Amino acid sequence: MTAAKSRLDMPAGGWWRGIAAASIIGLAGAVSACSHSVEGTKAAYEQDEPAGDLYNRGLAYMNKGKYRDAVKQFNEVDRQHPYSESARKALILSVYSSFQRGEYQDAISSANRYLTLYPGTPDAAYAQYLIGRSYFAQVRDVTRDQDVTQKAISAFEQVVSLYPQSEYVDDAQQKIVMAHDQLAGKEMQVGRYYLERREYIAAVKRFRNVVENYSNTRHVEEALARLTESYYAMGLTSEAQTAAAVLGTNYPDSQWYKDSYKLLQSNGLEPRENAGSWISKAGKLITGA
């Protein structure tokens, strides 16, 4: 699935201006911190550079689209000046730069580290949002495993629940809807596989999951038609009639409904809702019902 283009192509306006201002006002005059050497490496014998120099160099690389070099410089700020304000700002920019490079696992790892070290800072919402975007960017087509889709949903739900006032909530909610549609598509793909092989019970399980748990996706319409077909093939005419009736109520002009109606008529039946059926109850949750 191709992720929709969002504001992440450039950092959010207010957030970005704050970072830039910090580099000019606060970090340019930063003094060298105590040496934090790395034993056994060349760095062990080198004096630490001022945080501002490292940070601004990373910022310059990032502005030029040289994200690999930017990540290297931002990580040096964190290594040489840990737990400083410079390191905090460098870490969130390292997450962003890794994302822009397509290094999604690095972005996720760094973002999680940011949330562990600085959970109450204003940029925490952005770090959580970048985790969601990193997972979302890895979502594959419905013929493949959808574990990463579930992780994207979970990450975006954290944005919505933990940072409800952040500017990333609207986009997170939109992507949750898109990810749910992806999961519903996966269920439909598997359900059709079973239906073609006349494994009707297994097929019904998948189509039912779409109707009950993904009622606001575009796949519900077909799922109801496939339920009509599956139940009809199993001889469960009451359930088949109910599925068709719910389909007709919510999508009266649908070709899926016309096909389902024709299938029932071939045996002298017509759509008729059974109020006690799970399909009837689920039908009330369908968007637009």
Q: Let me know whether 71 and 30 are in one domain.
A: yes
pLDDT of residue 62: 96
DSSP type of residue 8: G
Residues in the chain: 289
How many Cα atoms within 13 Å fall on the side-chain side of residue 220? 24
Count the neighbouring beta carbons within 10 Å of the beta carbon of residue 164. 9
CATH number of the domain enclosing 163: 1.25.40.10
Q: Let me know whether 96 and 160 are in one domain.
A: yes
Residues in the chain where the model's pLDDT stays below 50: 2-14, 17, 20-38, 44-45, 288-289
Nearest to 54 by CA among 31, 25, 21: 31
Residue 84, phi then psi, degrees to nearest 5:
-85, 165
Give a yes or no: residue 187 inside a domain: no
Q: Let me know whether 11 and 119 are in one domain.
A: yes
Among 181, 207, 229, the domain boundary falls at 181
Count the neighbouring beta carbons within 10 Å of the beta carbon of residue 169. 17
Q: Let me know whether 93 and 153 are in one domain.
A: yes
Give a yes or no: residue 191 inside a domain: no
Angle formed at CA 6 by CA 5 and CA 7, multiple of 5 degrees: 145
Q: Let me know whether 129 and 24 are in one domain.
A: yes
Structure tokens at 112: 């999680």
Q: Let me know whether 23 and 136 are in one domain.
A: yes
Is residue 197 exposed (0-12), middle (13-18) or buried (19+ Cβ within 10 Å)? exposed
Nearest to 51 by CA among 15, 88, 14: 88
pLDDT of residue 47: 56
Query: Does residue 240 contact residue 264 with C-beta atoms inside 8 Å?
Result: yes
Among 148, 181, 214, the domain boundary falls at 181
How many Cα atoms within 13 Å fall on the side-chain side of residue 174? 11
Amino acid identity for residue 99 in this structure: F
Q: Let me know whether 94 and 237 are in one domain.
A: no
Q: Let me know whether 96 and 150 are in one domain.
A: yes
Give the total number of structural domains in the chain: 2
pLDDT of residue 284: 84
Q: Which residues contact 168 (CB under 8 A, 6 or more apart)?
A: 12, 125, 126, 128, 129, 159
Q: Let me know whether 70 and 206 are in one domain.
A: no
Q: CA 96, CA 103: separation in Å to the nearest integer?
A: 10
Q: Let me know whether 149 and 253 are in one domain.
A: no
Query: Does residue 82 contact residue 105 with C-beta atoms inside 8 Å?
Result: no
Among 181, 216, 241, the domain boundary falls at 181
Q: What's the pLDDT tens digit per position in 116-161?
A: 999 999 999 999 999 999 999 999 999 899 999 999 999 999 999 9
Question: The pTM is what?
Answer: 0.81
Q: Let me know whether 277 and 244 are in one domain.
A: yes
Q: Let me know whether 43 and 151 are in one domain.
A: yes
Q: Which residue segment(s) compose the domain that 84 sits in? A: 7-181
Give a yes or no: residue 192 inside a domain: no
Give a yes or no: residue 137 inside a domain: yes
Amino acid identity for residue 172 in this structure: A
